Structure 1
Amino acid sequence: MPAYALALALLVTAPLLGPGYLLLRDAVSTPRSHLSDAALGLSEAAPRALPQDFAIAVASWAVDGGVVVKALLVAGLWLAGWGAARLVSTALPAAGVPGEFVAATVAVWNPYVAERLLQGHWSLLVGYGCLPWVGVAVTRLRTGLGGWWPLVAWIAVAGLTPTGLMLAAVVALVAVAVPGTGRSRRACAAVSLAVAVLSSAPWLVASAAAGSLSSTQATGVTAFAARAEPGLGTLGSLAGLAGIWNGQAVPDSRTTLFAVVGTAVLLAVVALGLPTALRTPATVPFLVLAAVAVVLPAVAATGPGLAALEALIRTVPGLGVLRDGQKWVALAAPGYALAGGAAVLTLRRRVPPVAAAAVCCAALLAVLPDLAWGVGGKVVAVRYPPGWAAVAAEINADPRPVAVLPPDVMREFAWAGTAPVLDPLPRWVSADVLTTGDLVIGGQTVPGEGTRARAVQRLLADGADSDELLRNGVGWVVVEGAAAPLDLPVVHRDADIALYRVGGTGAPAPHRALMIATHLVWLATLVIGIAGSAWARRRSIRS
């Protein structure tokens, strides 16, 4: 089964396996990352990518950052398929290997994976891949077949991003309802929460230390709401594990009425196994979670739901993570995988399990053909022009605050394809890069938290001279893409990027030692969980 899951993962990510970097919308990889203030969550922006940025910065000291990101993405999809199969073998063993094949296909080959890939959410897919393993770990604890270490490890791995950690914690807390005579529900819930708190230390402490959470995130609630596909309402799209807010981050097969066919096939496979799965007590908690994970985002996308969510985020700014409602549909994946695996049991009186599994897997692959080969060739490795490396080297040799033009957070580079991408510079240099975080979605500006960056960019737009920029602490100005030259000392300029020296310095960010310590807490939790799991497995094999 690991081989089949890996084959699916590689079929999806094949264009990324060659030289180059993943650079697509929110996905940014660079040759090297640094433990900058932004990587530690000490910038003006909300800490949405912690401890991900810390982990990449540490890993890229030894391995090219592009390789690290691509390897983690492949691993996330592989874990999703393999974990779904293991969940079936743990909670529904009667389904056997045929059921495991269907479950692995459901977990990897679905619109959620395609859309999140196109949106560039590679680290979210790592967390997604951990969800079935969290379910396996808690189920084995409840039935007395496993120890604590795998649960610790999988929650910590999912904690690469805040969303991944929250998804894993929810799955763990739901899975404690699995009946069994092993570890108590209270103990499983307590350990799950304790590990989740330890793993969330980086972004919880960063939010408090940097004061970066803002009620302005409520402005984007409508823009980030789940979206109905052609021929499907919002509820139908979410039930088909689709409906991402960004209509541009969608595989071509989901932009026409063919989306109805794809959703019908996926739901048919799930519905076939549902009666059998509901009769198996160990699967029921995951099935209930799947239903809730589809219905709640659909409700949140209605008028009253949007108003309630906006009011909630204005009251508690830290809940801005809830505004992208469709990403929480990931919680349905374990239940869908179990129901899909149970389909072979429902059909076994009429169809041999191997034949039933083959038909189900083939149907799931056929209705989403463009997930293969990087979602129809849209997810590919790109190469940076030489000037980018030269500019990064100059800034890293003298790390001073950097202002960037054009002011938009999202960029469009001819050498990176047709889709917009987040500015790569903040992840390539050790200096503080001033970014507003403003996003333009459907003509509406969703403001970010970068007030200082916004003020500096107004100065640049008004033609401020070097003395005024210097007084505002700007050390460098980078212009990305072709643009008229600035009246500033030129350090590097070519057709792709230009670097100007100003010489200003910024105040060192406080709390760096504190933030490094909190990231080490997460890293220690991860390492201890993995080492403990390996030790327990070795001991089990010996005995």
Structure 2
Amino acid sequence: MGPLLGSGYLLLRDAVSTPRSYLTDSALGLGDAAPRAVPQDALLAMLSPVIDGGLIVKAILLVALWAAGYGAAVLARELLGASIGAQLVAATVALWNPYVAERLLQGHWSLLAGYAALPWVALAAYRIRTDGTAGAWAGLAGCLAAAGLTPTGALLAGITALSLAGRRRLAGVLALLIVASGPWLTATALSGAASEPSDPAGIAAFAARAEPGLGTLGSLAGLGGIWNGDAVPDSRTTLLAVIGTVLLLVIVATGVRSVISDGADRYVRRALVVLAALAVLLPALGATPWGMHVLEWLAAHVPGAGLLRDTQKYVALAMPAYALCAAAGCGVLAKRFSTAQVTGPTDNAQLAAATQRSESLARQGIDDSSTTNIAGSSPLSSAPFDPVSKLSPTVTGAVATILITLLVLPLLDLAWGVGGAMRPVHYPAGWQQVAGQLADPGDVAVLPGGMFRKFRYSGRAPVLDPAPRLLPRDVLQTGELPVRGRTVSGEGARAREVEALLLRGGSAQELASNGVGLVLLERGTPGPLGASKTTLAQLDPIFSNADLALYRVPGAVERHNASSMDRAVAIAAHTLWLALLVGGPLVAAITRRARRTR
């Protein structure tokens, strides 16, 4: 994130951060488009009047990346009794992989919050299975809420929690998941977006992509394969993609046997491995002709099935198991090298017994670091173990260093903002001036047509139009996405009608009847303008500079806003979600501290 930590705002493909955003109907998910950015937009709208919105996004992204690595390390420590070196290997697998790189380049910062929550969800589900205390349930509630920053993140966390918690706890987990998903579920129901099927063309457009030399299955197994070939690091377009994938899979495979071995927590560990296998195989099947045919049928006939179109997103479910297996692999290799230094059958037997004792204590949650070293042998043991005791930390550290280096080097361009791609931008002053001119009633229509822009200040990659987040009014967006040379239709029916009206040069009266009170022309960006000059000539100019022009629609504007009741219900759902997000970790921490004190 290096370059992004400087002054400015994240504006890269789907990522749009702004100095200030507003609690509009669209931010609450009550527009006519699907609520894909709920509750993230509402959260930013509530916080940005106090804290700069760009700073909030950077902080969330930074905390998410830290939480992904640290969560993988803690998961390896609690489920495997992993050493520090093995924990660092797990953290590297969670942080330094193609999935993180590609989603950063695509601008999916809030999805990475859901990704980061997965090891913590797994850990919370494990603690619920082992003790079932209120603190464990509160921890799961907070994790689900954090993942629920986007609908996809909520699904990822929900699948993980339901897979691990066990049948007797499914009802409780499902209830927490519904509350954590309340903002987008409520918005979907109130806005009517749930009644509309998605465009089946989106299935092929968003299918997982085969990388050079790997095929679709290999790309997904290596945690890559995003649909957008432009949102990948340069290294993934070369032989390094094959090398990096092979190294990752070999490291993971080395530890699989240890992870699925018998033990008190074997159900959770085995379930995570099965989940990882399905997270790779099912998206790969979804990219086959018959798999796409099935998904196209679902998209056309089942409302809400559009959440499944970007199947590569769900490869995130493999990360906790990959991290565990990599940590176990580090332990396996270190043990082999350490054992090779021990001579005599008695020494081997004692070492095995000490290792077994250490693993048993770790599974019970007992910290035996004061009596046991990294290899599991006691510093108080007899003289023949002294060489092993002294060598084991060195060997473990050396193995961990080698594995981390092998994971990092093939994807070295993830460093420094994914090769410098994640650089902050600065918005021209005209945007703030336009925002201050929106006193008139009605929604805002934008020109040129389409949802993506290329400004002089935004870099080479196309970016989502920042107007809906920069302006204190609802900005109509069609939801249409240009992907792989085709256009995937969105759910914004009124926005499509207004855009068509502008491009054909319709009348000001037609705009007013569609609830449009203002038209914003964004200059200097590609996109269709059609015969919009005819329409603009009928409007009253309010503001104009080199970047923007704002026009008022004369006459009475028909109201198309959400009702006050709908807004109240949506805000209540957001409030419950926020209570889980803040209260869950707080209760978990207090409960855990009280238990330790006792």
Same fold (TM over 0.5): yes
Matched, 1:160 2:149: yes
Contact kept? 2:179, 2:576, Cα under 8 Å:
yes
**Helix, strand or coil at the partner of 2:592:** helix
Distance 1:104 1:210 in 2: 40
Matched, 1:76 2:64: yes
Residue 122 of structure 1 and its aligned partner are, at CA, apart by 0.3
Contact kept? 1:84, 1:103, Cα under 8 Å:
yes
Aligned twin of 1:374:
417
Residue 148 of structure 1 and its aligned partner are, at CA, apart by 1.8
Matched, 1:243 2:217: no
**Helix, strand or coil at the partner of 2:46:** helix
Tell me whether 316-325 or 276-285 shows the greater mean CA deviation.
Answer: 276-285
Distance 1:187 1:430 in 2: 47
Aligned twin of 1:258:
240
Matched, 1:123 2:110: yes
TM-score by length of 2: 0.84
Aligned twin of 2:373:
none
Q: 1:387 aligns with which of 410, 419, 430?
A: 430
Distance 2:558 2:459 in 1: 35
Matched, 1:67 2:55: yes
Residue 279 of structure 1 and its aligned partner are, at CA, apart by 1.5
Distance 1:52 1:285 in 2: 30
Aligned twin of 1:57:
45
Residue 175 of structure 1 and its aligned partner are, at CA, apart by 1.9
**Helix, strand or coil at the partner of 1:394:** coil
5+ residue gaps, structure 1, are: 1-12, 177-184
Distance 1:143 1:473 in 2: 56
Residue 541 of structure 1 and its aligned partner are, at CA, apart by 4.0
Residue 187 of structure 1 and its aligned partner are, at CA, apart by 4.3
Contact kept? 2:68, 2:95, Cα under 8 Å:
yes
Distance 1:197 1:427 in 2: 27
Distance 1:161 1:324 in 2: 14
Closer/same/farther in 2, CA of residues 145 and 101 from structure 1, 3 Å limit: farther
Matched, 1:414 2:472: no
Distance 2:132 2:399 in 1: 30
Aligned twin of 1:16:
4
Letter in 1 for 2:63: A
Distance 2:546 2:254 in 1: 57
Aligned twin of 2:356:
none
Deviation per residue, 1:101-154 (Å, 9 max, x gap): 000000000000000011110000001101000111111222238632111111
Letter in 1 for 2:179: L
Distance 1:52 1:78 in 2: 19
Aligned twin of 2:92:
105
**Helix, strand or coil at the partner of 1:475:** strand
**Helix, strand or coil at the partner of 1:102:** helix
Distance 1:475 1:285 in 2: 54
Letter in 1 for 2:209: R
**Helix, strand or coil at the partner of 1:350:** helix
Alignment map for 1:518-529 (pairs within 5 Å)? 518-529=573-584
Letter in 1 for 2:237: T
Distance 2:324 2:589 in 1: 26
**Helix, strand or coil at the partner of 1:391:** helix
Residue 530 of structure 1 and its aligned partner are, at CA, apart by 2.4
Distance 2:331 2:499 in 1: 62
Residue 526 of structure 1 and its aligned partner are, at CA, apart by 2.2
**Helix, strand or coil at the partner of 2:101:** helix
**Helix, strand or coil at the partner of 1:492:** strand
Aligned twin of 1:217:
199
Distance 2:132 2:197 in 1: 46
**Helix, strand or coil at the partner of 2:198:** helix
Aligned twin of 2:289:
303
Aligned twin of 1:181:
none
Query: Would you identify which runs of 4 or more consecutive aligned residues in structure 1 move more than 4 Å?
Result: none
Deviation per residue, 1:389-448 (Å, 9 max, x gap): 1112222x4453101001111111120111111111111223121111111112211011
**Helix, strand or coil at the partner of 1:476:** strand
Aligned twin of 1:182:
none
Q: 1:320 aligns with which of 286, 297, 306?
A: 306
Letter in 2 for 1:394: Q
Q: 1:169 aligns with which of 158, 170, 175?
A: 158
Matched, 1:365 2:354: no
Contact kept? 1:92, 1:283, Cα under 8 Å:
no
Deviation per residue, 1:465-491 (Å, 9 max, x gap): 434433433211101123897423222
Distance 2:441 2:28 in 1: 16
Distance 2:43 2:333 in 1: 46
Aligned twin of 1:4:
none
Matched, 1:286 2:265: no
Contact kept? 1:76, 1:125, Cα under 8 Å:
yes
Alignment map for 1:224-235 (pairs within 5 Å)? 224-235=206-217
Deviation per residue, 1:343-385 (Å, 9 max, x gap): 1221121262111100011111101001111110111111101
Deviation per residue, 1:12-38 (Å, 9 max, x gap): x11111111111111111111111000
Deviation per residue, 1:146-195 (Å, 9 max, x gap): 6321111111111111111111111112223xxxxxxxx34433222111
Aligned twin of 1:203:
184
Distance 2:515 2:43 in 1: 29
Q: 2:511 aligns with which of 461, 469, 473?
A: 469
**Helix, strand or coil at the partner of 1:216:** coil
Aligned twin of 1:91:
79
Distance 1:53 1:302 in 2: 35
Q: 1:506 aligns with which of 552, 559, 564?
A: 559
Aligned twin of 2:344:
none
Letter in 1 for 2:118: L
Deviation per residue, 1:197-224 (Å, 9 max, x gap): 1111221121121112422332210000
Distance 1:193 1:133 in 2: 17
Distance 1:495 1:422 in 2: 20
Contact kept? 2:198, 2:305, Cα under 8 Å:
no
Distance 2:417 2:109 in 1: 12
Letter in 1 for 2:186: V
Letter in 1 for 2:293: A
> Alpha carbon RMSD of aligned pairs, Å?
1.6
Aligned twin of 2:540:
489
Contact kept? 1:51, 1:203, Cα under 8 Å:
yes
Contact kept? 1:403, 1:434, Cα under 8 Å:
yes
Alignment map for 1:30-49 (pairs within 5 Å)? 30-49=18-37
Contact kept? 2:182, 2:573, Cα under 8 Å:
yes
Contact kept? 2:197, 2:300, Cα under 8 Å:
yes
Matched, 1:516 2:559: no
Distance 1:508 1:410 in 2: 24
TM-score by length of 1: 0.93
Distance 1:328 1:98 in 2: 28
**Helix, strand or coil at the partner of 1:58:** helix
**Helix, strand or coil at the partner of 1:101:** helix
Letter in 2 for 1:72: I
Distance 2:73 2:126 in 1: 14
Larger-Rg structure:
2
Distance 1:522 1:471 in 2: 36
Aligned twin of 1:10:
none
Contact kept? 1:392, 1:425, Cα under 8 Å:
no
Aligned residues: 521
Contact kept? 1:425, 1:433, Cα under 8 Å:
yes
Letter in 1 for 2:487: T
Closer/same/farther in 2, CA of residues 55 and 399 from structure 1, 3 Å limit: farther
Aligned twin of 1:9:
none
Distance 1:473 1:272 in 2: 61
Tell me whether 288-297 or 531-540 shows the greater mean CA deviation.
Answer: 531-540
Distance 2:507 2:299 in 1: 39
Distance 1:508 1:344 in 2: 57
Distance 2:98 2:585 in 1: 31
Letter in 2 for 1:441: V
Distance 1:256 1:298 in 2: 21
